[in-house]
Each structure stands twice: as structure tokens, then as C-alpha cells.
Amino acid sequence: FDKHTQNKINAEVRKGLVDIMQRHARIVTLLKNIDDFFNVPNAIAFVSLAIALTAELLGGLENTYLQVPFTFFQVAMDCYIGQSVVDASVAIEEAVYACKWENFNKENMKIVLVMLQNSQKTLKVTAGSMAVMNFTCLMSIVRSVYSTYTTLHSTMRQTL
């Protein structure tokens, strides 16, 4: 390309990069606000749902076969949404790195460097600032509920 065409291309790339960076900053701010607002309610909900799942299992599946999937689904949806946020955050980081930034001019390389630094911090949704809501958290909840259930169930059998 001639110099004039390259300057036009670089200007368009810069405009696109700045737009992407601004959108990403808005998304990060929105997610932080949402996480701050729902942080404590998510923690309360998770603890309540874990207790509910344990109680439903203790009640016997033949009596609670409708409640158990519904309660599990509530926990799973929150964890799925949290996992989706983490996955999208990682995808943004990988996309920025794979954008062939080495072919950009110095100005655009600096913008990409700032974007890389901003995207390195993985976004996440938390419950009470203690647990990151993702599939790992879901499996921890399932493990904890089952452990609690087996302990209480064996204790209840011994006392009867």
C-alpha cells in the first residue's frame, strides 16, 4: 500500500480499537456494578439453596423429586452465567492478542498494549466476594450438599 492508504487504514484501525476499548470499559464497569449490587444476595441465595437441596434429599427423593431438579437448576443457572462471563473475558483477551497487532503502526500497538493490560484481569461474578460463580463452584456445592446429606442421613439412621 502507498503511504496515504496506510494512513487511512491505520486511522480506521485506531478508531475501531478505541471503540472496542471504550465498550470493554463500559462492560467491565457494568459487571462491577452488578457484582457489587448482587454480591450479598447471591451469597444468601447460594447458602439457602444448599440448605434446601440438603433438606430435599433428606426428605427422600420419592417425596421431593420435583423440588430437587428445580433447586439444582437455580444454582446451576447462576454458575452457568458466571462461567459464561469468565469464558467471554478469556475470549476477549485471546482475541486482542491474536489481532495481528505486530502489523500495526506504533500508535495502534500502544492502544493494543493498553487493551491487553485491561483484558488480562479475568472478569467474574461472585457470591459474597467469597466464591466465584462458575462450574467449579457448582461442583463444590454439589460435593458439599452430598457430604452434608450423607453425614446427616447416617446420623439420623443411628438415632432412630
How distant, in Å, are the alpha carbons of 16, 150, 152, 159 from that of 155?
63, 8, 5, 6
Domain count, the chain: 1
What pLDDT does residue 106 have?
A: 95
Question: 121 phi and psi, to 5 degrees?
Answer: -80, 110
What pLDDT does residue 1 have?
A: 75
Calpha distance 114→111 (Å, rounded) = 5
Domain, as residue range, for 90: 3-159
Give the side-chain half-sphere CA count within 13 A for 36.
6
Calpha distance 124→101 (Å, rounded) = 27
Average pLDDT over the chain reads 93
Calpha distance 101→108 (Å, rounded) = 8
Tell me the residue type at 93: E
pLDDT digits (tens, 9 = 90+) for 58-114: 998 888 888 999 999 999 999 999 999 999 999 999 999 999 989 899 999 999 999
Q: What is the pTM of this model?
A: 0.84
Calpha distance 20→79 (Å, rounded) = 27
Query: Is pLDDT larger for residue 159 or for residue 38?
Result: 38
Calpha distance 75→142 (Å, rounded) = 10
What does the block give as the cell for 28? 467491565
Across 5-9, 39-43, 154-158, least confident range: 154-158
What pLDDT does residue 65 have?
A: 85
What pLDDT does residue 45 have?
A: 92
